Chain A
Amino acid sequence: MEYFIQQLLNGLTLGSIYGLVAIGYTMVYGIIGMINFAHGDIFMLGGFAALIVFLILTSFIAGIPVALALLIMMVVAMLVTSLWNWTIERVAYRPLRGSFRLAPLITAIGMSIVLSNFIQVTQGPRNKPIPPLVNDVFHFGDVTVSLKQMVIVVVTAVLLTIFWYIVNKTPLGRAQRATEQDRKMAALLGVDVDRTISITFIMGASLAAVAGTMYLMYYGVASFADGFIPGVKAFTAAVLGGIGSLPGAVLGGLLIGLIESLWSAYFSIAYKDVATFAILAFVLIFKPTGILGRPEVEKV
């Protein structure tokens, strides 16, 4: 039983990270109907930015408090990824917006390759380790909860609350939802659609940067290839929850995290990715709209 709870906690932590990344996929899909395949690499880039900031901070300021260092890492990573995602949208996606459906998709895959190769060339192909940042652990009976797990879950919860508030209660969120439903009409009512879409990319990138920083803190390594497998898993999470739905992305992320850690715990760890992607296949076959997704209604 303790073992099960332990795995549940591990799954929850991992799921939070997937959920944060999945939101970026789902929001972009919601607003312009394309899958931003470069989003996984934006997540990886966030991890690298955090790593570089960490190295700079620790070499210049000895004994900087860990909480402060993490905060600075996160903020800088958010700025870097936002800038990248904004630029990608501006130069690679926006000119193709009126084009056929596959064009932005192919471009997104191209952007993903550009990003991961850029990091591979500039940062080297090997895993970059950092010393463990947060080491405290708490024991509840036989269950061990590390402080870094708590940080991840709490930061995710706080960010999701802010995010939910922005989307549901602010003029910006209203404009995003309106743009999602009818872009042309939103423009006619005075909403600057291009800017709204840019902000959506920036918001998705910020969350991915936070996820990247957390991932770095949790596992202690960053690699140029991190954008791919975790990125595709986050995408699976978005599809599982129902692509286009924000609560769906979070739910999907948590489910994927749980499935992965429980599968590794009770079955073969070598097959955990197979389990995850088998789920993607099953969802696409039996419930293409996902758990919380709405069926696509044909416009009259």
Chain B
Amino acid sequence: MTSGNTTMTRDTILKVEHLSMRFGGLMAINDLSLEARRGEITALIGPNGAGKTTVFNCITGFYKPTMGMITMNRRNGEQHLLERLSDFEITKKAKVARTFQNIRLFSGLTVLENLLVAQHNKLMKASGYTVMGLLGIGSYKREAEGSIELARQWLEKADLIDRADDPAGDLPYGAQRRLEIARAMCTGPELLCLDEPAAGLNPKESLALNTLLNSIRDETGTSILLIEHDMSVVMEISDHVVVLEYGQKISDGTPDHVKNDPKVIAAYLGVDDDELEEVMHEELDGGSL
């Protein structure tokens, strides 16, 4: 499903063009181009070391790419070049949020406070940069109530409402993962980037995650870009899959298309070209990757 169309259409929310990232002598990403469409779940897969997390780090401002352009196309028509924004502006202006492979909650803050930090900018403005909030004038009170309300809605969705006032560090692992996603959603993103959200989850938690992600896409219209190793999650929920190997794109399309792409199979199973045909047949018969 590669399109030769290089102009940005309304449906494209994120467009990565000719992205390269070099660490000393290592070319982690080499001339990568990909697109994520609005309102869809796009999965980024590939063997270990393929450069998936590096792509994420470039999109969310952790790294400055060596070359290339990353364009975020917002719902209101604004376009932002993410490689030129600093990290907090990517959230604030371009409306891109992300989670990490290893959980990075503010473990000393309560669950609710974690979600309120994510709404920092609008609260800060409403409190007149604290001065007016202290004096109790302006719209701070109303805004604060609104923020708590939004946080509560996400806690309901993530099934964490009972734990709202507990320190985030006390939650079990699966709940912390859901809280991270809820927190990212509280920044009001148009694009949500999830780095291995299902890592370390048991099958039941993984199912709850699928439900949460589907409801995010369907109810809020937020587009999702995810890195995932758990194929049951990828094949189940993604609309579009991009496969990386050695920093380059080797396949791009629907889950079914990708699953049957010989290059992908070779990348994952590491077979020689002459064995490829044989393996392909097995895969087609067996079904899953």
Binding site for B on A (CB under 8 A): 162, 165-166, 170-172, 174-175, 177-178, 181-182, 184-193, 300
* Docked pose: A264 CA to B129 CA in angstroms: 45
Known: A165-B134, A171-B133, A174-B109. A189 touches B124 (CB 8 A): no
Q: Is the CB of B127 within 8 A of A188?
A: no
Given contacts A162-B134, A175-B117, 4 further A-B contacts (CB under 8 A): A170-B127, A174-B113, A178-B117, A188-B91
Known: A172-B130, A174-B113. A190 touches B102 (CB 8 A): no
Residues of B within 8 A of A165 (CB): 134
Closest residue of chain B to A203 (Cβ to Cβ) is: B130
The 5 A-B pairs at the shortest CB distance, nearest first, are namely A171-B123, A190-B91, A187-B87, A172-B130, A178-B117
Q: Is B229 on the interface with A (CB-CB < 8 A)?
A: no
Q: Is the CB of A192 within 8 A of B109?
A: no
* Docked pose: A290 CA to B60 CA in angstroms: 38
Which chain B residues numbered 101 to 127 have a C-beta less than 8 Å away from chain A? 102, 104, 106-109, 113, 116-118, 120-121, 123-124, 127
Residues of B within 8 A of A184 (CB): 62, 87, 104
Q: Is the CB of A171 within 8 A of B127?
A: yes
- Would you give 16 A-B contacts (Cβ < 8 Å), ordered by A? A162-B134, A170-B133, A170-B134, A171-B130, A175-B120, A177-B108, A182-B106, A184-B62, A184-B87, A188-B60, A188-B91, A188-B98, A189-B184, A190-B187, A191-B120, A191-B121
Task: Give the A-B contact count at a CB cut-off of 8 A.
Answer: 83
Residues of A within 8 A of B127 (CB): 170-172
Q: Is B97 on the interface with A (CB-CB < 8 A)?
A: yes
Q: Is B249 on the interface with A (CB-CB < 8 A)?
A: no
Q: Is B183 on the interface with A (CB-CB < 8 A)?
A: yes
- Which of A171, A181, A182, A193 has the most chain B CB atoms closer than 10 A to its own CB? A171
Q: Is the CB of A181 within 8 A of B107?
A: yes
Chain B nearest CB, measured from A196 CB (Å): 9
Residues of A within 8 A of B113 (CB): 174, 177
* Docked pose: A185 CA to B107 CA in angstroms: 12
Q: Is the CB of A189 within 8 A of B117?
A: yes
Residues of B within 8 A of A193 (CB): 88
Q: Is the CB of A177 within 8 A of B109?
A: yes
Q: Is the CB of A174 within 8 A of B134?
A: no
Residues of B within 8 A of A172 (CB): 124, 127, 129-130
Q: Which of B104, B109, B118 contacts A190 (CB 8 A)?
A: B118
* Docked pose: A175 CA to B183 CA in angstroms: 14
Q: Is the CB of B88 within 8 A of A178?
A: no
Q: Is B80 on the interface with A (CB-CB < 8 A)?
A: no
Chain A nearest CB, measured from B163 CB (Å): 18
Chain B nearest CB, measured from A61 CB (Å): 28
* Docked pose: A187 CA to B187 CA in angstroms: 12
Q: Is B92 on the interface with A (CB-CB < 8 A)?
A: yes
Q: Is the CB of A192 within 8 A of B102?
A: no
* Docked pose: A240 CA to B134 CA in angstroms: 31
* Docked pose: A191 CA to B184 CA in angstroms: 13
* Docked pose: A192 CA to B12 CA in angstroms: 28
* Docked pose: A138 CA to B282 CA in angstroms: 96
Residues of A within 8 A of B123 (CB): 171
